[in-house]
Amino acid sequence: MSLSKVAVVTGGAGFIGSHMVDLLLERGYQVRVIDNLVGGRLENVQHHLHDPNFVFQQQDLRVTAPDDPIFKGAEYVFHFAGIGDIVPSIERPAEYLSANVMGTVHALEAARYAGVKKFVYAASSSCYGIAEVPTNEDAPIRPEYPYALSKYCGEEAVLHWGLVYKLPVMSIRIFNAYGPRSKTTGAYGAVFGVFLAQKLAGMPFTVVGDGTQTRDFVFVTDLARAFLCAAESDRSGEIYNVGAGNPQSVNALVGHLGGEVVQVPKRPGEPDCTWADISKIRSQLGWEPKVSFEDGVREMLRNIDYWREAPVWNPASIQNATKTWFAMLSDKNQ
């Protein structure tokens, strides 16, 4: 009989979740993944399918019963399942609140029923909106669009289950995650996927505004380590920002990737800078980012074929895809 610890990863076939699976298996855990494969891809975990310590269950969390056997005996639950992207959330807010809040509630109830030792939630730094930088965990909450609201409401549910039901919980507010397997959905979204598909197609990079805006890019393997640090710590009820704490400009990214540039209009509701104050997680958990931006970009380029089937965006298609964004948010920050 195996004595290795059991961990459940919701959304484990997705971008960050699949890297969490890799790390847990590497550390000797038995890993059970639950994913509806709407945003996740089975190919992201295919290399583990014959591992006796890996179990995959295709299922939507919103139909998961509290006594679902996939949670039985689990020490930790890492909750990544949910839906992302800004524009679709503006167009379909109810769907986002349902998936990202009620999906979280069902995961919490299953974790509570199973008596897990720690539930670690993947929150979003988008809850801060346009914040002062560097941004610490006590910064005002100002969601700018329904995706941000849904992730923040999910976090509130997690903390509430910790308060009312004494479920040990943690929340990790993720800044600008990047790395191999980042999503390639049809929605216009994260800059890395957009740029890598454009590079493969020999198209110019569509830089928003003048490209001087900066983002706190954090590499996905560093993120996975932060989640494991949180789970294995003796702390509970805490919120941690996780970024690299070292913002990089979009122009710097273009310089590393190499290619021509075409500018597209700056979008409302987007900050000029995201910058995580990571002093809390450093001091309390001893976590440090290890992957430099330069090394991370090189790793992305080594894995560039992953984005060969991704949508290739140009100024016209971006304008069409972001019409709702401009229509709904343009007057909001005047």
Total domains in the fold of the chain: 2
pLDDT at residue number 119: 99
Strand ordering across the sheet containing 76-79: 54-58, 30-35, 6-10, 76-79, 118-124, 169-174, 238-242
pLDDT at residue number 331: 64
- What is the C-alpha separation between 318 and 261, in angstroms, rounded? 15
125 plus 197 within the same structural domain: no
Phi, psi of 123, deg, nearest 5: -90, 180
192 plus 309 within the same structural domain: yes
Does 169 fall in a domain? yes
Does 27 fall in a domain? yes
Which neighbouring-strand residues pair with 219?
178
Q: Residue 52: exposed, middle, or buried by beta-carbon count in 10 A (0-12, 13-18, 19+)? A: exposed
Judge whether 244 and 293 are in contact, CB under 8 Å: yes
pLDDT at 2 over 70: no
**With bands split at pLDDT 50, 70 and 90, how would you rate the model's confidence at 332?**
low
230 plus 308 within the same structural domain: no
224 plus 196 within the same structural domain: no
168 plus 122 within the same structural domain: yes
Q: Residue 328: exposed, middle, or buried by beta-carbon count in 10 A (0-12, 13-18, 19+)? A: middle
- The vertex-108 CA angle with 125 and 100, nearest 5°, equals 45
Does 283 fall in a domain? no
- What is the C-alpha separation between 258 and 199, in angstroms, rounded? 8
190 plus 130 within the same structural domain: no
Domain holding 127: CATH number? 3.40.50.720
- H helices of the chain, in order, are 15-26, 86-91, 93-97, 103-114, 146-165, 191-201, 220-232, 250-257, 279-285, 293-302, 315-321, 323-329
Tokens at 94, concatenated = 């109810």
136 plus 196 within the same structural domain: no
CA dihedral 314, 315, 318, 319 (to 10 degrees): -150
154 plus 205 within the same structural domain: no
The b/e string for 215-244 (b: 16+ C-beta within 10 A; e otherwise) is bbbbbbbbbbbbbbbbbebeeeebbbbbbb
Does 24 fall in a domain? yes
Q: What is the mean pLDDT of the chain?
A: 95
Does 126 fall in a domain? yes
Q: Which of 275, 278, 208 is nearest to 239 (CA)?
A: 278
Q: Which of 108, 106, 121, 152 is nearest to 227 (CA)?
A: 121
155 plus 129 within the same structural domain: yes
What percent of the chain shows pLDDT beyond 70?
98
pLDDT at 333 over 80: no
Q: What is the DSSP letter of 63?
A: G
Handedness of CA 258, 259, 265, 267 (dihedral sign): negative
pLDDT tens digits, one per residue of 290-323: 999 999 999 999 999 999 989 999 999 999 988 9
- What is the C-alpha separation between 70 and 113, in angstroms, rounded? 12
- What is the C-alpha separation between 253 and 231, in angstroms, rounded? 32
pLDDT tens digits, one per residue of 62-91: 999 999 999 999 999 999 999 998 989 999
Judge whether 61 and 10 are in contact, CB under 8 Å: yes
pLDDT at residue number 325: 83
pLDDT tens digits, one per residue of 156-166: 999 999 999 99
- What is the C-alpha separation between 45 and 27, in angstroms, rounded? 16
What is this structure's pTM?
A: 0.96
37: left (phi over 0), alpha (psi -120 to 50) or beta: left
Does 334 fall in a domain? no
Average pLDDT of span 266-273: 87
Does 190 fall in a domain? yes
pLDDT tens digits, one per residue of 187-213: 777 899 999 999 999 999 999 999 999
Q: Which of 261, 243, 264 is nearest to 252 (CA)?
A: 261
167 plus 315 within the same structural domain: no
pLDDT at 122 over 50: yes
- What is the C-alpha separation between 97 and 149, in angstroms, rounded? 8
Does 263 fall in a domain? yes
Q: Residues with catalytic annotation?
A: 147
**With bands split at pLDDT 50, 70 and 90, how would you rate the model's confidence at 1?**
very low
167 plus 208 within the same structural domain: no
144 plus 193 within the same structural domain: no
Task: Say how many C-beta atoms besides its own lie within 10 A of residue 255's C-beta.
Answer: 13
pLDDT at residue number 92: 96
Q: Which domain holds residue 309?
A: 180-215+247-273+293-322
Domain holding 202: CATH number? 3.90.25.10
Judge whether 179 and 185 are in contact, CB under 8 Å: no
